[in-house]
Amino acid sequence: MGRFARAGALVGALGLVASLALSGCGKESEAAQFVPGPTAGATGGAAPEAPGTPSGPPLTVSPADGAKKLPVSVEIGAELPDGATVSQVMLTTKGKRVKGKLRTDGSSWVPAAPLKWSTSYTATVTASRPDGTVSEGTSTFTTMAKPSSVITSGLYLFDDRTYGVAMPVVAEFHPGIPKKDRAAVQKRMFVQTDPPQPGAWHWVGNGTQAFYRAPEYWKAGTKLSVRIALAGIPLSNGRYGNVDRNATAKIGSAFEMKVTNSDKQMRVYENGQLVKTLPVSLGKKSTPSSSGTLVVMEKKEATVFDTMDDPNPENRYVTDIQFAQRLTWGGEYIHAAPWSEHVQGRQNVSHGCVNVSMTNAKWLYQRTKIGDPITITGTERKLAHGNGWTAWNLSWTEFVKGSALPVPDGGAGPAL
């Protein structure tokens, strides 16, 4: 991977459909699915034009001239004279110009879409000094053939959707990304927010997922633009990234649910104002609900919970469920529970879910968005990290420790 470096410095070089297995409170007869967003197209543009006639010594461009079998994720860099800045990067193949952008830190130029396999490219980098001297360098290189061993990846974000203020950017990988590769992969995962808000990535478990969030919930109305640019990136296990994925989505109004076990009530806030308080029944002592900050991951107006494979006979059932909102991979939901309405607000009888009345379940369902937060406190079990989109269940200090790259104060992800 190339980078723009000062003279004397070393010049370096989701397909996936994730089935959501259900357990705990309930299993569905048909597993829910999240489908990753579409593959990335070409976006962005080259650096400023009209750099002037070359008058200084030639630049050393990376990849090196004549390089072969390069990954299609390759970036363009150059060794710059002291005081020089890049004025133009041009990448062409068969007479056609490739779109791309400089990284915001100026370290390299990133093509807007994966390069083509087994294809020759010519990169021309132009740099200008304060005295007006212009230097240029050119390199022609060839990309590798399409590999047979790839990872699969997913992005839990869809174009033109509106999400809640706690919606993390969730990238998924199978198999997981080896720890030694996470910094390189993370450097290719771009998030842009409008209005700008700092953020950071956090790797979960064995590298099967990574979350991106800000220090606090997103501002209402934020535009999220995401590119997981992994097509062709080489990994240490001999595999390569399969495709680029991107999505542009919007954050809607703030809708937050807070459940306290002490009084068995849910308090609902819209834009910071309390709008409704409703009784709940949480998990009984043998199957407690998880305390922590959870996120609505999925919504189904009607579904079936099937737990007939539970090792405990007392927890086996098949039940039609209405207005179900998934909170964990383990099977905790908010849902209508007409059978427990007589104890809601007084007693916990569920298998870990947040039981509400049919009327209240419908009221919630009609107002919530994927990505809305719910905080549960006072139960016998703490939310396990990675059991759902648990990005907000960590303090910011704890969260940034899961980044594979250093996180500046306040947070910032790789940007273009």
H/E stretch holding 359: helix 358-365
Confidence (pLDDT) at 14: 34
Strands (E) located in 239-347? 244-251, 255-260, 265-270, 273-279, 290-295, 298-306, 318-326, 333-336
Identify the architecture of domain 40-142 in CATH: Sandwich (2.60)
Retrieve residue 125's tokens: 């980098």
H/E stretch holding 227: strand 223-229
Retrieve residue 259's tokens: 């459940």
Q: Does residue 248 contact residue 160 with C-beta atoms inside 8 Å?
A: yes
Give CATH for domain 255-395: 2.40.440.10
294 backbone dihedrals φ, ψ, rounded to 5°: -110, 170
Residue that is written with structure tokens 């737990």 in the block: 307
Q: Does residue 208 contact residue 173 with C-beta atoms inside 8 Å?
A: yes
Q: Residue 169: beta bridge partners?
A: 212
Strand 318-326 versus strand 298-306 pairing type? antiparallel
Q: Does residue 379 contact residue 282 with C-beta atoms inside 8 Å?
A: yes
Confidence (pLDDT) at 46: 40
pTM: 0.86
Q: What is the mean pLDDT of each run of 10 residues along the chain (416 residues)?
A: 48 33 38 30 40 79 98 96 91 97 92 98 95 93 97 95 98 96 97 96 96 97 97 96 96 98 98 98 96 98 74 69 96 96 97 97 98 98 97 97 92 73
Retrieve residue 25's tokens: 């409170």
Half-sphere exposure of 329 (CA within 13 A, CB side): 13
Q: Cβ neighbours of residue 76 under 8 Å, at least 6 residues apart?
A: 2, 61, 62, 63, 89, 91, 100, 108, 109, 111, 123, 125
Residue 262, by phi and psi: left (phi above 0), alpha (psi -120 to 50) or beta? Answer: alpha
Q: Structural domain boundaries of the chain? A: 40-142, 152-253, 255-395
Domain 152-253, CATH class in plain words: mainly beta
Q: Residue 67: beta bridge partners?
A: none
Q: Are 40-142 and 152-253 the same fold in CATH?
A: yes
DSSP letters for 160-212: T-EE-TT--EEEEEESPPPGGGHHHHHTTEEEEEES----EEEEETTTTEEEE
